[in-house]
Amino acid sequence: MTTSTTQRPTASDVTVTTGRGLRRAIRGELSRLFGTRMPLIAIILAALSGLVPTGALVLGGPGTAQPPMPDIDSAAGVSTALGLAGVSLFVPALIGTIAVTSEYRHRTIGATFLAVPRRGQVLLAKLLCYAGFGLTYGLIVVVAAAIGLYGAAALRGMPIGMPIAVVVTLLLRIAVTAAIYMIIGVAIGALARHQLAAVGIVLGYFYFLEYLLMIIPGVNAIYPFLPGGAAAALTQFTFITDSVGATGTLSAPGLLPPVAAAAVLIGYAAVASCVAVLLPLRRDLR
């Protein structure tokens, strides 16, 4: 008499299978991303977001702005000029949100989950792909901002009041912040699923709610711990908070040190990513 035994999968087998599924999900996500016009549109937006505000401010002279800003022959002036590129960081968050909600809107998410049945792998693949895409977006922004800064300064014959190494560090912070914002956008899209609602959440929060909280006495003490406050500290763009304090009616909310601000932003991205991966596992596709 012969007996048949079913060999149970080992931990290494499960790891290999999981790794293959994740790689397949990443390949599928990259195919969907580069099969659309979104990368081209994002590149154009990134270049404009970096070049136009920084170049226009430096060329026109920060001292002519209202209220006047320090000129680029000082470190504060350089930080302000480059920080303008970070004002549009809601754009990568919006891109990440639209990328995910578009699959629900066009009813293609079902086919995506059928191709890779483990939803967690699909959503993890989206987060990984768009983290890389967000970093690429941020690098394009900062390269364009650097061109705007040094090009406009050369036209004016104005020296740059910040060492090149410090400028590079600041630009890299902006690029990393863009990647984190895109991860947060993907997470919001995965959770909200409805495109108009998700876009409304992103725009309403980053364009309205954070600024509202910043000007409410007492409440603005939490601003440094919000994504916008952490991003302002990380990118050293303090013009908006300084303007609030310059009114004389409100105290400017203090910002965190850059290292603490980076930890806060990474924390937001980590929590949003975990929720975005785990919660949809228990929800239907409707």
Question: Which has the closest alpha carbon to 246: 83, 69, 77, 81?
Answer: 69
Q: Does residue 146 register a pLDDT over 80?
A: yes
In this predicted structure, what is the pLDDT of residue 228? 86
In this predicted structure, what is the pLDDT of residue 119? 66
Q: Does residue 165 register a pLDDT over 90?
A: yes
In this predicted structure, what is the pLDDT of residue 17? 44
Buried-exposed string 241-280: b where 16+ CB fall within 10 A, e elsewhere? beebeeeeeeebbebbebeebbebbeebbeebbeebbeeb
Does residue 234 contact residue 173 with C-beta atoms inside 8 Å? yes
Could you tell me the two tokens for 161?
């009041």
Cα separation, 13 vs 259, in Å, equals 40
In this predicted structure, what is the pLDDT of residue 13? 40
Task: Please state the pTM of the whole predicted model.
Answer: 0.81
Q: Which residue has the higher pLDDT, 92 or 104?
A: 92
Identify the weakest region by mean pLDDT among 63-72, 182-191, 230-239.
63-72
Q: Which residue has the higher pLDDT, 189 or 47?
A: 47
Cα separation, 286 vs 283, in Å, equals 8
Q: Which residue has the higher pLDDT, 16 or 165?
A: 165
pLDDT in tens, 38-97: 889 999 999 999 999 999 989 888 777 666 788 888 888 898 888 888 778 888 999 888
Cα separation, 87 vs 108, in Å, equals 33
Query: Element (H or E) spanning 259, and its range?
Result: helix 258-278
Average pLDDT over residues 189-206: 84
Band (pLDDT 50/70/90 cuts) for residue 249 is low
Question: Which has the closest alpha carbon to 269: 141, 19, 138, 93?
Answer: 93
Identify the weakest region by mean pLDDT among 61-65, 149-153, 170-174, 199-203.
61-65
Does residue 131 contact residue 124 with C-beta atoms inside 8 Å? no
95 by Cβ neighbours in 10 Å (0-12 / 13-18 / 19+) ranks as: buried
Q: Which residue has the higher pLDDT, 158 or 285?
A: 158
- By percentage, how much of the chain surpasses pLDDT 70? 80
Could you tell me the two tokens for 50?
């970096």
In this predicted structure, what is the pLDDT of residue 12? 45
Does residue 203 contact residue 94 with C-beta atoms inside 8 Å? yes
Give the range with max mean pLDDT: 59-73, 102-116, 147-161, 250-264.
147-161
